[in-house]
Amino acid sequence: MESQPFAPIMTTAFAAMRTELARLAAQPPQVLLFEGGTEEERMALARYWAALQHCEQPAAGEPCFHCPACVCIADGVHVDVLAYDGRISNKEDEENPGAVRALSIDTMRQLKSRLRDSPHGKGKRVVLLAGMHNNRTEAANALLKVLEEPSATTIFVLLAPQREQLLPTLVSRSWVLTLPWPDTRSLTPALRVWQDSLAHFIQHGQGWFEKTSAKNAVTPLLAAEILLACQKALSQSLCSQSNSLCPPLVQLFAAKSVQQRSQAACLLDEANEALQSSVNPARVLDFVATSLFVLCSSRS
C-alpha cells in the first residue's frame, strides 16, 4: 500500500495526471507548475513527481512507495528534495527551522549557491515552491534569478491554487498541469447559505451586512471556511466546464476576466492574512463582500 502522503492523488481522478508525469519523467521540464486541486493534493503530486525522479524500484511507470528514497520523500526528509513556502516568515524559519523553509530572499540566495553542487543521489534535485502568492517581491525576483541559470541536475515545482496568482514571468517558464478542481458540492448546507448570500450581495448589493452584524454570527472558524469556499469557487471558475448548474459564486467568477479573477484571488489572500492577524472576522468578511461587489461591478 502506498505511503499516506501520496494517498490523495492515488485515485482514478488523478490517473491521467500520473500517466502524464510518467511520460515527462524521461525528459523532465525545468519547471512544473501544479495548479488547481487542494493544497494537500498539490503537495502530494509534487512529492509523487519527486519520487519518480528518485525511486530505486519503479514499476509500470510509478514509484514503488517502499524503497528508502520513496519513504524519505514521503516523510519530507530526502536530502535532494528541498521545500520552501512563502507563507513561512523569516522569524518562524529562524526560530524553528524545519523540513520546509521560508521562501525569502536569503533562502533563495542560499539555494542558488547550493545548486552549484551535484545532487547526493542518482536522481535530479527537486525544489518544491509553495505560497509564492504571499511572497515579497524581493524573494520572487531572487527566485527568478535562480531560474535564469538552469541547472542540468535540478528541476522545480511551483504550487499554486491558480496560475494567475503568480508572476507572469514564472508562469511563462513553466509546464503547467491543472489538477481536478475541488468539488464545491462538498460544502455543508450552512456554508452554502453563506456562499449563496455572498453571491447575491455581489450581484445586488443587498442582504450581506444583516447576516454579518448579527450577534455571534461570525466566528474565526466560519470566516476561514467562507474564505476557503470562495477560493474553491474561484478555482472552479477557471474550469471550462463552468455552467448554469454550478453554484452562483462560481458562475459570477467565471463571467469575469482573467485580470478580475486574479484581483479576486489577491484580495482573498489579503483577507486570509487579516484573519490570521486576529482582525474581527465579521469585518474581514465585509471587506471581502464589498471588494468583490466593486470588482465584479466594474467592466474591466
Burial (0-12, 13-18, 19+ Cβ within 10 Å), 243: exposed
Lowest mean pLDDT among 45-54, 78-87, 251-260, 287-296: 251-260
Total number of domains constituting the chain: 2
Residue 3 predicted with pLDDT over 80: no
Whether residue 85 sits in one domain with residue 195: no
Whether 48 and 63 have beta carbons less than 8 Å apart is answered as yes
Residues 159 and 216 in one domain: no
pLDDT at residue 46 greater than cutoff 50: yes
Q: Which of 151, 179, 207 is the last residue of a domain?
A: 179
End-of-domain residue from the set 179, 198, 226? 179
- Contacts from 9-17 at CB under 8 Å and sequence distance 24+? 9/41, 9/44, 9/45, 9/48, 13/180, 14/41, 14/45, 14/179, 14/180, 17/45, 17/177, 17/179
Report pLDDT for 87. Answer: 80
Neighbour count for residue 14 (Cβ, 10 Å): 20
Whether residues 175 and 237 fall in one domain: no
For residues 158-182, average pLDDT: 84
Highest mean pLDDT among 37-41, 65-69, 108-112, 116-120: 65-69
pLDDT of residue 182: 61
* pLDDT value for 250: 85
| Whether residue 106 sits in one domain with residue 138 | yes
Q: Please state whether 131 falls in left (phi above 0), alpha (psi between -120 and 50) or beta.
A: left
Give the pLDDT confidence score for residue 154 in this predicted structure.
Answer: 94
For 93-125, the pLDDT digits (tens) are 888 888 899 888 888 889 988 888 888 888 899
Q: What is the pLDDT of residues 176-217, one digit of tens each?
A: 998 886 655 556 788 888 989 999 999 999 999 999 999 889
Cell of 140: 520572487
Question: Residue 175's domain spans which residues?
Answer: 4-179
Helix (H) / strand (E) element for 33: namely strand 31-36
Largest CA distance in the chain: 61
Amino acid identity of residue 219, one-letter, is T
Same domain, 85 and 106: yes
Domain boundary among 179, 201, 216: 179
